Amino acid sequence: MNRFCKKLKKQQQTNHSLLCIGLDTDRKKIPAHLLASDDPVFEFNKAIIDTTADLVCAYKPNSAFYEAEGAKGLESLKKTCDYIHQQYPAIPIILDAKRADIDSTNQGYIRMAFDYLKVEAMTLHPYLGKEALTPFLSLKDKFFFILCRTSNPGAGEFQDLTVGRQKLYEVVAQKVVQDWNTNNNCGLVIGATYPDELAKIRKTYKDVFILIPGLGSQGGDAQKTIKAARKNFIINVSRDIIYAGSHQNFQDLVRQKAKQYRALINKTIISL
């Protein structure tokens, strides 16, 4: 078990949680009273983290929201990651960047994610194949969630194409589990909006670790999703938690919403 998995498992046990909160912070949706601060994005993230740190197993900042703000946004992302490492070092960070390119470009992504931000895991897309992803996959102490069946409505345009007797998303799962995972540092991303596909992958690959987005604002059904996943998964919820409130005490509603999701996940697991 690599370092990320050990850290994640310990945090799951400590907080009795399979909930990952996505820090998809949009400056336009930040409570108005924070906008006067020097770094509203970081102050918002800090508040979210402080009020939910005992309820989560991981945090997942989406790099696009920070890149959209230019240099200031990247500074906010760096400060957010540093804050988690310093104040809550037991909680792992998954960078949702969906990277993958040729070898030399991937080296730049690696330096950004693991040397600069010092995250423990990140999301990748599989389109360029194992050869291109080797710089990532060779990092034994890091973990990589490979896009398999994504949560967006148009996911089937490519992912449902038939390749031989399988759908393309099934081929991706097979490659990741049977070929790419030689260092036990690969998992899959499968959206909660496709519980049947999730169940199919779980039936075939009983132990693969799965990151599941798509609950809340994207419309995924928590109970169907958890029953399909069964084990070795984390549920990511972003907007439905972090934007639960907009007044000065917005943290109270954020915490309430996070507690509700954690309770729902745990209750459903017990009922399996």
Please give the distance of CA 43 from its chain centroid, rounded to a whole number.
21
Q: Please state the length of the chain.
A: 272
Q: How far apart are CA 131 and CA 17, in angstroms?
A: 35
DSSP 215: B
Q: How far apart are CA 4 and CA 23, in angstroms?
A: 19
The active-site residue, picked from 10, 46, 79, 98, is: 98
- Within 10 Å of residue 218's Cβ, how many Cβ atoms? 17
What are the pLDDT tens digits along the chain (272 aa)?
788 999 999 999 999 999 999 999 999 999 999 999 999 999 999 999 999 999 999 999 999 999 999 999 999 999 999 999 999 999 999 999 999 998 889 999 999 999 999 999 999 999 999 999 999 999 999 999 999 999 899 999 999 999 999 999 999 999 999 999 999 999 999 999 999 999 999 999 999 999 999 877 677 788 899 999 999 999 999 999 999 998 899 999 999 999 999 999 999 988 87
Q: How far apart are CA 34 and CA 246, in angstroms?
A: 10
Q: How far apart are CA 40 and CA 66, in angstroms?
A: 12
From residue 20, alpha-carbon distances to 4, 61, 103, 212, 262 in Å are 14, 10, 30, 9, 9
Q: How far apart are CA 118 and CA 133, in angstroms?
A: 19
Tell me the whole-structure pTM to 2 decimals: 0.96
Q: Domain 3-271 adopts which CATH fold?
A: TIM Barrel (3.20.20)
Indicate if 98 belongs to the active site: yes
Enumerate the domain spans of the chain: 3-271
